[in-house]
Structure formats: structure tokens, C-alpha cells
Structure 1
Amino acid sequence: MKIGIIREGKNPPDDRTPFTPEQLSQLKAKFGDQLEFLVESSPNRCFSDQEYQEAGIAVVEDISEAEILFGVKEVPVSQLIPEKTYFFFSHTIKEQVYNRPLLQAVLKKNIRLIDYEVLKDEEGKRVVAFGRWAGIVGAYNAFWTYGQKTALYEIRRARSLRDLEEMHQELRKVQLPPIKIVVTGSGKVGGGVKEVLDSLGLRRVTTQEFLHHYFEEPVYVVLGSSDYNRRKSDGGYDREEFYAHPEKYESHFQKFAEAGELLIAAAYWAKGAPRLFRLEDIQSPDFALSVIADITCDIGGSIPTTLRASTIQSPVYDVERDSGLEIPAFGSQTSVSVMAIDNLPCELPRESSGEFGRQLSQWVIPALFEENSGILERATVARDGDLTLEFMYLSDFVRESNEES
């Protein structure tokens, strides 16, 4: 079985890799002649070609000899090799219009697409993700943004830090006034956010305390979906109903937007679910949020001020309250500053790649040797020129024209 690690083709290039040199060396030792690894040469990968070669892994210019190809971000249509099995984050399963041509090309080229986002165990829990690292870097960037906006302190950009230990050292420079911080989500991403909040020594409070008490220190609240969604008919909440029929619900997040100054959004959002607020809501003088770190970065998703993804090179843009239009970062005292980088773990690429590779080594590599592996079958979006049964709901999406793209 020949496995290839592809060069990231999306622009700007992603520094991460599915496997570190050491991990490929360990897998090679474990599986012997059953596995052969090829790494496509890349000038941008966080581990150099030389590091892979020193680990005994072949580095090549032409990866087409491999049957199974692992990447991280979406593969440009022009770089897709027909008849292969690909693993990457496709960002198509929520019907993301900008990636419709990618899914159409996958079908046309008879590619088996296995999407990391839907690799799950028997209980439905994701087994591979960069979530924790997105949460860590996203939360750090939230406080970097707040420092830039208020000029109360200055910390280095995450991308300039060597590792997580150096990040925690940098966080000691943060000096916060008694602000209230809203966090949505308590999964792996939310767990990463909490690591940063705990590093800062911030106190967690209940929703009632957050809304009704005054504090002389900075505090934060973690909101679950029941805290800011309610049934339209009677104001109630039923978890199973909410996830099955989100259209029956509406947001009542506004009270938290009026109490908090900084929002760190780390909650999963599904198409059809209520958005936290409307873009026009930021015009209200009661809307107190001035910095929004949208780790989820769902364009057109839960956070209406996320007009586009920002980049590591240019991490923040502002949204003018009166017009709802984008203006330069920190361009106005009253505007809302938005951090919406869509590849946050790239700012600590070696560590985040290492954790991701450990998950792939544990869950995916052994599954490749199983006949009809459940984990791989459930995550297969397309095969043999067609969508799989689980993803047939994308049929109309892929049939539509590219005019919107």
C-alpha cells in the first residue's frame, strides 16, 4: 500500500502536515513491507524535505504513484489526480458554495473522498481534528486583538512563538480590565479556548452571574446551545428537537451581546440553525461586543460580522456598526473588530501536526487494512463517480451551476 503526503496547494499555503517525519518512520517500522510512504516535496511544510529524508522517508516531485493521498486543506481542482483515494478537509459537506467545483471535480475524476471532519467512532465522536489547537490559537488571538484595539498591553503574534510553552509565557503580559467574556462551545475547540483562559487565571461564572452581577475582575461564561436558543412557539428548549429541527428555534443571544465585551465563538454551527444575532443588531448602542474572535469561521454562519475569512498575514478586519461594511482593522473606535482566521492551527504548525498525526496513526492507518472499515465508510463522501448514501443530500448542490461560486 503506497501512501502519499501531498504538497498543500491552497493559497496561501498551509504549513501543516498530516504526519510528522518521526510518525511516518514509526509507522514504517510497525507495518514493514505492508506500507510505503512518499512525501511530495514542499517549500512550505513545517517539517522540511530534509527532515523526512533523514527519517528514511522518500521525498518525490511526482506523487501519482501513491494510491492513497493525505493532505490537510482543500486540494485545488487542477491538482486532483483521478482514481485516487484522498483524505483532506473538503469543506463541502455543509454545501459551501465556494467549494462546489471541488466536489464536482471529485465526482468527475472518480475520486474516493474521505473527509476528516466526518471520521467518527461508533458513538459518533470525531477521531481526528485540529480542534484543540484552533481553540488555543483562536483564544490567544482574541486577546492579541483586544490588546491591539485597546492599547492596554501588547503580546507577540502566535505565529512568531516557538511552541505552546512560549505562548503561555507570553500570556503573562496580558493585563485585562474587569471585562466580561462570552465563550460559545465546550467541545474540543472550546477545550482549547479554556486552556488559554485558565492560563490567564480568569474566573468562570454562571450565566445568571454574567448577566446580572458586577465584577471587579475579568470573568467569562461558557454558553451551551440551550443558553441562547429558544423554541419560537413557547420559548422552550429540547436538545434532540433543536438538532433535528433547528428551524423551529430562534436566538436570544442579544442579552449576552449587551453584557459582554469580547466574544470567542467556538461552537459548531449547522446550516439552518439560528444565527447568534443579526448584522443590524450591532447598530444598537446596547450591543457591547467590540471584539469577536470567530474560531468557527463559517461564512454566512452563526456570526453575521464574519464577512469573510481573515488570514494569518492580516488577522483582523473591522465591521462598521452603522453600515455593516468592512473597514480596516482598528479603523474606528466604535467598530467591531473581527478575527476570523480559517487555519488557526497553522500558527503552531509543528505541535498541531504532531497531535493530528497521532490521531491518524491510531484510528485511520489501522482502518486502511480492514475490509469495509466502518470509520472510513462513514466518512466517505464520494466514490466511483457518485455520492455515497450518507451524503446523497448533496446531490442538488453538486448539480447546480457554478454561477454563485
Structure 2
Amino acid sequence: MSITIGLICEGKVPPDKRVPLTPKKCVEALSTFPNLRLLVQSSPVRSYSDQEYRDLGVEVGDDLADCDVLMGVKEVPVEQLIPNKTYLIFSHTVKKQPANRNLLRAVLKKNITLIDYELLTNARSERIVAFGRYAGIVGAYNGLLTYGRKHGLYDLKPAYQCLDMDDMQEEFFKVKKLPPIKMVVTGSGRVAQGALEVLDRMSIRRVSVYDYLYLDFNEPVYTQLRSSDYNRRRDGRVWDTVDFHNNPQEYESTFGIFLPVTDLLIACAYWHPAAPRLFEEADTQRSDFRINTIADVTCDVNGSVPTTKRASSITAPAFDYNCQTGELEPPYSRPSNITVMAVDNLPCELPRNASRDFGRQLLDNVLPHLLSGDTEGVVARATIAKGGELMPRYQYLADYVAEEVPVCS
């Protein structure tokens, strides 16, 4: 049976320049799956122009009425949803995000099948598509950019002004004045691996956690921290990674030992609201609190990094946290402040690279299930709604989308 997939023009404001499938990935998909037809909706903002698709023989148009599956990146504005279609997007609804409640309501009302990229997993419950790597790459770059600006060492071109990863890498070579600072990267997933790529390409030396804590160096260094390096069970029992993920409330942070020896924190670890924070606001007033720049790549507002009191934007990526007052100030206001980079859509700064990486994952890990029978249940597990109803595993969202009951006076 033939299936037509439409690549939608991103409608969210500000617009997202990423695309699920680049022109070359479209060609590969069409040659790999004989039953597939692709239609790219015309877009003035996409990082790959309409002409780049046309040049490779990919169909471009405006009307998606004949498409079976509509594939985008970010949430679709409610008024742009087409009834009775299947959408594959990041809906940002499964955590009951208030901003997207009406989106899920509209999905149910319009009989839309909603498949969420974030929920696509393999048999080991591991995510199979994500933009995390580029969040880490851009986040680490922005962290070093912010540190350089704060201390007047160098001035790098922002990532979003770079054409692609190669162009951004040319900026790396401008960083020749880093003092012997110490940097921490938290996490071990895709995001952290992306951050490590940048530090390694910049030839910044990696050291063990022990050496980082207890030795001095005459060059900049970094270390990577896994959850067990900065958390412990409250009752003193031995560390258990699975237990930590299942019962984060039973643990407490030991990150305090890193506060006196760290200059730049690059936070890339997934954080659960029940898990301990890295540190508390009160810790920033300690005489031995050394961190002066934070790249909060995870960008959980009021989350693992308590100085992240708001998200920042691509064009205004940094703000200062005043340790004495707890208030936010303009970036680089005073040396005693902590300067925080907390952009919440980092992969958008390198949209062409991020799209190429994401498209590869779709081709290898998702389209075979979507187009050739979902025998392993990959698509089914990621389907939030179908036929005007929430799927069984997402019934917990029922109260989230329930209509408000009028209050009688």
C-alpha cells in the first residue's frame, strides 16, 4: 500500500528552521521504500530551501490534503491542524505541559493520530530519535563563548550565525587564551556526548574525577561526571543506577565537593523533579563557591541548576545571577555574578547539521516501522492519541485535557 508523507512548514512562532528529512535524506527514503511518496510543503524559513528539494527531484507544494502522515519538528498551531491525519512531531504534551494542553485537546477533537518522536523507543526502552547531540554541541560551544565574553578573553561568532558545524569549528581555533580553568560536564547521554565532542575537538585535556578534584593544572581541563559521581543514597546504601532512576527522591547531591574547584559548569544530565539539585541558591554565597559561568544545556527552569530562573533565547543567550540578592541581571553586569547560558532550543542554532543527523535516525530507526508494518510496536508505543481517544498507556493525560467545569456562583 502506498503511503504519502508530507513534510510540513513549521508554524510555531518563532519559526524553527529544522526539518525531519533533508533533500538528500528524502532521495534516500524514496529509493529505500518503493511504497513511499514524499511531498515537501513550501517554506520560507526552512534551513533547506524549496529549491534544494526541487533540485534533487523532490516534490514541493502547498496542499497537504492528500498526505497520510504529516511530519514536522515542533508543535503545530491548533488552527493549522488538519483533521483525520496522522502527525509525527515533538508535541511536548506527555509531561502535561500547560502551554500545549489545547494542542492535545484539538488532536482529540479533530480525530488526529498523534505520534511523538520523544516516545519512540526500542525494545530496551531507549530513545531512537533525538536532537540531543546537537544540543550538547551547541551548548558547550555557547558555554565557552559565554566564558570568553565574561572574562574579555575572546569573542566568538554565535553558533546561529555559523552556516554549519564546519563553520563553527573554524571559530574554535580562535580560542587561544583560555587560562588553566576547570570545567565539569554532567551526564552520559547524547547531550553530554555532544558537549564532549566540542571540548575534545578544541584539544582541551580530559582528566579523571579524582585528578580534577585534587590536582592543579597549568592548562584548561575538564572532567565528565556520571550520576554516581555527584549523588548518593540518603541512607548510606551502596550506589545503584537503576534504583537512582526509579527512586530519585531517595538520593542527595554530593556536588558540593566540586563547587570550590570548578570554573565552568556544562550541565547536560537529564533531571527528574524528584531528584536532588546540583546545589542550592544558598551555596552560591559560600566563600569557596568558584563557578562563575554555567551552560545549562538541559535548561530545566528552577531545576537541577537553581540559578536557571528562566530560559534565554538564541539571540540573547546569557543572563547574570547575582549571588548576593538572588536576582537576575543583564549578562556580564559584574564579575561577582554567575553568568548563565540557558537557551532552551539549542539545536536550532545549527539547523542544517541537526536536521541531517535527525534524518539519519528516522531513516534507520523509524521509517522501517512506519512504512513496513509495526511488528515490534515501536510506532504503537509512541502513539498518544488515535480515533479521538487517548491510547491506553497515555490515559493519565485524561485530566490534563478534560474540559474545565464551570464554577457556579
Please give the TM-score of this superposition, normalised by the length of structure 1. Answer: 0.93
Partner Cα separation in structure 1 for residue 128 and residue 17 of structure 2:
22
Partner Cα separation in structure 2 for residue 284 and residue 79 of structure 1:
51
Partner of 1:382: 385
Partner Cα separation in structure 2 for residue 397 and residue 301 of structure 1:
22
Structure 1 residue 3 and structure 2 residue 11: aligned? no
Partner Cα separation in structure 1 for residue 275 and residue 399 of structure 2:
20
Partner Cα separation in structure 2 for residue 27 and residue 192 of structure 1:
26
Change (3 A) 1:392 1:259: farther
Partner of 1:83: 84
Q: Is the 8 A contact 1:94 1:271 kept in 2?
A: no
Partner of 1:116: 117
Q: What RMSD over aligned residues (CA atoms) do the two structures have, in Å?
A: 2.0
Partner of 2:369: 367
Partner of 2:203: 201
Q: Which moved more, 1:99-108 or 1:195-204?
A: 99-108
Structure 1 unaligned residues grouped into runs of 5+: none
Q: Which amino acid aligns with 2:155?
A: E
SS of residue paired to 1:36? strand
TM-superposed CA distance for 1:400, in Å, is 8.1
TM-superposed CA distance for 1:401, in Å, is 5.7
Partner Cα separation in structure 2 for residue 401 and residue 149 of structure 1:
48
Q: Which amino acid aligns with 2:359?
A: G
Partner Cα separation in structure 1 for residue 54 and residue 113 of structure 2:
29
Change (3 A) 1:108 1:133: same
Partner Cα separation in structure 1 for residue 396 and residue 260 of structure 2:
38
SS of residue paired to 1:46? coil
Change (3 A) 1:303 1:79: farther
Change (3 A) 1:236 1:104: farther
Partner of 1:322: 324
- Choose from 176, 184, 187 the match for 2:186: 184
Partner Cα separation in structure 1 for residue 398 and residue 73 of structure 2:
25
Q: Which moved more, 1:228-237 or 1:342-351?
A: 228-237
Q: Which moved more, 1:310-319 or 1:250-259?
A: 250-259
Q: Which amino acid aligns with 1:62?
A: D
Partner Cα separation in structure 2 for residue 393 and residue 296 of structure 1:
25
Partner of 2:66: 65
Q: Which amino acid aligns with 1:153?
A: Y
Q: Which amino acid aligns with 1:89?
A: F
Change (3 A) 1:169 1:65: same
Partner of 2:170: 169
Change (3 A) 1:317 1:179: same
- Choose from 315, 334, 337 the match for 1:335: 337
Partner Cα separation in structure 2 for residue 319 and residue 20 of structure 1:
39
Change (3 A) 1:202 1:401: farther
Partner Cα separation in structure 2 for residue 383 and residue 303 of structure 1:
37
Partner Cα separation in structure 2 for residue 400 and residue 248 of structure 1:
36
TM-superposed CA distance for 1:25, in Å, is 2.2
Q: Is the 8 A contact 1:310 1:339 kept in 2?
A: yes
Partner Cα separation in structure 2 for residue 84 and residue 280 of structure 1:
51
Partner of 1:22: 24
Partner of 1:344: 346
TM-superposed CA distance for 1:144, in Å, is 0.5
Partner of 1:394: 397
- Choose from 302, 305, 314 the match for 1:303: 305
Partner Cα separation in structure 1 for residue 388 and residue 301 of structure 2:
28
Q: Is the 8 A contact 1:189 1:266 kept in 2?
A: yes
Q: Is the 8 A contact 1:94 1:270 kept in 2?
A: no
Partner Cα separation in structure 2 for residue 275 and residue 131 of structure 1:
21
Partner Cα separation in structure 1 for residue 238 and residue 98 of structure 2:
33
TM-superposed CA distance for 1:5, in Å, is 0.7
Change (3 A) 1:227 1:132: same
**Deviation sequence 1:94-137 (CA, Å, 0-9, x none):** 33333333333323333222111221222222221112111111
The 5 A counterparts of 1:240-259 are 240-259=242-261
Partner Cα separation in structure 2 for residue 237 and residue 367 of structure 1:
37
Paired residues, what number?
Answer: 401
Structure 1 residue 100 and structure 2 residue 109: aligned? no
Q: Which amino acid aligns with 1:384?
A: G
TM-superposed CA distance for 1:271, in Å, is 3.3
Q: Which amino acid aligns with 2:106?
A: A
Percent identity between matched residues is: 51
Partner Cα separation in structure 1 for residue 402 and residue 324 of structure 2:
38
Partner of 1:156: 157
Change (3 A) 1:243 1:42: same
SS of residue paired to 1:91? coil
Please give the TM-score of this superposition, normalised by the length of structure 2. Answer: 0.92
Q: Which moved more, 1:87-96 or 1:263-272?
A: 87-96
Change (3 A) 1:282 1:10: farther
Partner Cα separation in structure 2 for residue 64 and residue 305 of structure 1:
47
Partner Cα separation in structure 2 for residue 76 and residue 370 of structure 1:
30
Change (3 A) 1:77 1:256: farther
Change (3 A) 1:361 1:395: same
Partner of 2:48: 47
Partner Cα separation in structure 1 for residue 324 and residue 84 of structure 2:
51
Q: Which amino acid aligns with 1:129?
A: A
Structure 2 unaligned residues grouped into runs of 5+: none
Change (3 A) 1:398 1:35: same
TM-superposed CA distance for 1:139, in Å, is 0.8
Partner Cα separation in structure 2 for residue 310 and residue 213 of structure 1:
35
TM-superposed CA distance for 1:235, in Å, is 6.2
